[in-house]
Structure 1
Amino acid sequence: MDKTNSIHSKISLNQLSVLRTAPDLEKDQYKFLFNELLPYMNQADWFTVGIMASSASSAVNVLREIEKRFKWNQMKISSNTDITGPVYLKANQKTGEIYVRIEYGLGEGILISCQHDDINKDSNTLGPFPLNFFHQEI
């Protein structure tokens, strides 16, 4: 096993935070990271989601999977998604709005920012998670 794969088999949320693109994960790694993520999500009041993807349709589909997984209300797309090229999607659960823009030079993955209504609490941005991370049965 090469060094990259051995790192992936033991990767933590802290290690993800330094990556520009989401790593390929083995099946058992999904469960480990999901279980590490849940306490952060359970303490949050609301979320922002950033998705770096190869297309707008891919990014929107990934967001819809996240909404379904966590039983969030479906957010409204507030920008043109009829664009060609790599994108960055930003979804704000508090406002219910989604914005998508062309963005070159990014990696690929999902960033979840756990937000708080109390401005004295720091938000936590976690990821990048693979685009299929929240689609997995864990």
Structure 2
Amino acid sequence: MTQANSNLSVDEALKILKDYSCLQIKIVDFEADKHKLRQAIKIVSDLCVTENLGICADSFEEGFKTLKSYLKALDISENVDPSPTAPRQTPIYIKFNTETMSYYVDYYTGSYRGVLISCQSDNHNLVGTYGHFPLNLFE
């Protein structure tokens, strides 16, 4: 999705993302809020050189499903094969790098569940870590 296909400006998109980027997790209650949040993530992602996605989930299956849904929504190939040695039925953390199309998986003992997106760009206004976003935002 390009900025021309959205009714949000880059500044509006950044403001929405920063509203979700705090120590208190903000709940996305309404479909209209989810729609704007999805648009904001896509706008900023389109303008970035690369992103890292950090996903904390209850299981590898849930985390991997989330990873694929975010990659698809960001128009990044979601053809990523799961590691056969990754922890399966325990809370996990996945760190995915869109530049190398590779990921790291580890056990996770924290209580947080969701997605963080770290953006890298030549435009310093776009650089930052955004989130906490819902696991199912793009499902």
Q: Which runs of 5 or more structure 1 residues have no equivalent in the other structure? A: 1-10
Aligned twin of 1:84: 89
* Deviates most, 23-32 or 125-134: 23-32
By how many angstroms is 1:111 displaced?
Answer: 1.0
Aligned twin of 1:103: 108
The two structures have a TM-score, normalised by structure 2, of: 0.74
Aligned twin of 2:46: 42
Residues 63-78 of structure 1 aligned to structure 2 (within 5 Å): 63-73=67-77, 74-77=79-82
Q: Which runs of 5 or more structure 2 residues have no equivalent in the other structure? A: 1-14
For the aligned residue pairs, the C-alpha RMSD in angstroms reads 2.5
User: 8 Å contact 1:13–1:36 — kept in the other structure?
Assistant: yes
By how many angstroms is 1:97 displaced?
Answer: 0.8
Q: Alpha-carbon deviations, 1:21-68, whole Å to 9, x = none?
A: 562431111112223333321210121111111111110111111222
Q: Secondary structure at the match of 1:128?
A: strand
- Amino-acid identity (%): 28
Detail structure 1 runs of 4+ shifted over 6 Å in the superposition: none
Q: Secondary structure at the match of 2:27?
A: coil
User: 8 Å contact 2:87–2:107 — kept in the other structure?
Assistant: no
Counterpart of 2:57 (choices 53, 60, 63) is 53
Aligned twin of 1:5: none
User: 8 Å contact 1:75–1:91 — kept in the other structure?
Assistant: no
* Deviates most, 76-85 or 23-32: 76-85
The two structures have a TM-score, normalised by structure 1, of: 0.74
